[in-house]
Amino acid sequence: MNTNTNPQTSTALMRDGSGAMFDRIAARYDLLNRLMSLGLDARWRNRLVRCLSDAADKAVAAGQRLEFLDVATGTADVALAIARAYPGAHVIGLDPSREMLAVGKKKVGERGLDEHVELVEGDAQALPFEDGRFAATSISFGIRNVPNRLLGLKEMARVTRRGGLVVVLELNEPERGPLAPLAKLHVHHIVPRLGAWLSGAKEYRYLQTSIAAFPSPETFAGMMEAVGLHVEGMTSLGFGSAHLYVARA
């Protein structure tokens, strides 16, 4: 039973990390991302995209249709980067936030990629695709927001072709290394303040709390293994404040 009688608090709780929460910040999401990550986010996404080349080569060699799925695609940066890197590929970006997708659709149109990038509304926990459809699936800065992460990973593994790749880019609490305290300071104090100041929304405080609550890289890699994926690589980025996980389906 929900005993929370404060409508403001219960709404906030319901929306934390959800598509509805992202609807409210969609218009400024791209700018905020660039500022908060000091421009590193774009570099990290490109790194994710380069990791997919093995899956792309395999699909082409086997004469299979080259299709990628980007889960929690938001404003479609990864979907667009995949389409640019692998000409001829069909990329589906999925997200529950209509407003994030609307920003993404505009970008797809502006770059003349409508025929290659399709954006659909949906939930990572119930992907509306058949088993083994995609050469590779990706999720960047999104798995943290999925309420049942194991189910989200299981779904990504299910829709990925056997031998294909599941690639996850995600922030985490920076714990190790000489610059970890600096990265921690950035995540805990600068990011939420900058976010709240620039967006006028309290939602960016959620970023800090959700990063702190995210499992350690080793535990998260274990979750990927638990759904039947084989983790082949785990790369620390941004002084340990993010990791890129590459797993074989």
Ligand X SMILES: C[S@@+](CC[C@H](N)C(=O)[O-])C[C@H]1O[C@@H](n2cnc3c(N)ncnc32)[C@H](O)[C@@H]1O
Using CB under 6 A, list all residues that contact ligand X.
17-19, 22, 33, 45, 71-74, 77-78, 95-97, 100, 123-125, 140-142, 145-146
CB of 131 to ligand X, least distance (A): 19
Q: For the CB of residue 101, give the shortest distance to ligand X in the complex, in Å.
A: 8
| Closest CB to ligand X: residue number | 74
Nearer to ligand X, 67 or 99 (CB): 99
Query: Between residues 107 and 133, which has the closer beta carbon with respect to ligand X?
Result: 107
Q: How far is the CB of 40 from ligand X (least distance, A)?
A: 12
Task: Name the residue nearer to ligand X (CB basis): 31 or 62.
Answer: 31
Cβ proximity to ligand X: between 58 and 158 the closer is 158
Phi and psi of 161, rounded to 5°? -60, 145
With respect to ligand X, which residue has the nearer C-beta, 64 or 208?
Answer: 208
Closest distance between ligand X and the C-beta of residue 5, in Å? Answer: 26
- Nearest distance in Å: CB 114, ligand X: 19
